[in-house]
Amino acid sequence: MGNGRFQELRVYQLSEKLADDIWKIVHEWESLPQNTIGKQMIRSADSIGANIAEGVGRGSYPENRRFIRIARGSLYETQHWLRRAYSRNLLTDEQVNKLKVTINDLAPQLNAYLKSIGKISKQE
């Protein structure tokens, strides 16, 4: 499976944690919430890490930056679905607080990673 470079990125690891935590929560829901809001939330959360990986795999700084912006959009979409799930009493306060810790770490990591792409010395 490639050299795994993207798997070593902390930002990618956080995206995996968020997606896995959301999967575990949604897996326990009844079928209507799972098939509506749950699927949307899982897809948007999974998309964060997928776009980080794809950006790395594209092999160019502009393409990588583009995919990190898409990943950031997927994070915001995930936050939207989490808000909807909470307002529909599908998430507990404890679940929300746990997810917030990861999101509050992931969002600035995505921005920092975006800013760092392409700023490597030309001597390498």
CATH superfamily of domain region 5-116: 23S rRNA-intervening sequence (1.20.1440.60)
Q: Give 35's DSSP letter.
A: I
Q: How many CB atoms lie within 10 A of CB 31?
A: 8
Q: In this predicted model, what pLDDT tens digit does every residue of 21-68 receive, in sequence order?
A: 999 999 999 999 999 999 999 999 999 999 999 999 998 999 999 999
Cα distance between residue 92 and residue 102, in whole Å: 16
Q: How far is 106 from 38, CA to CA, in rounded Å?
A: 21
Which residue carries 């599908």 as its tokens?
A: 90
**Structure confidence by residue, pLDDT tens digits, 109-118:** 999 999 999 8
Residue with tokens 């959360």: 45
Tell me the pTM: 0.91
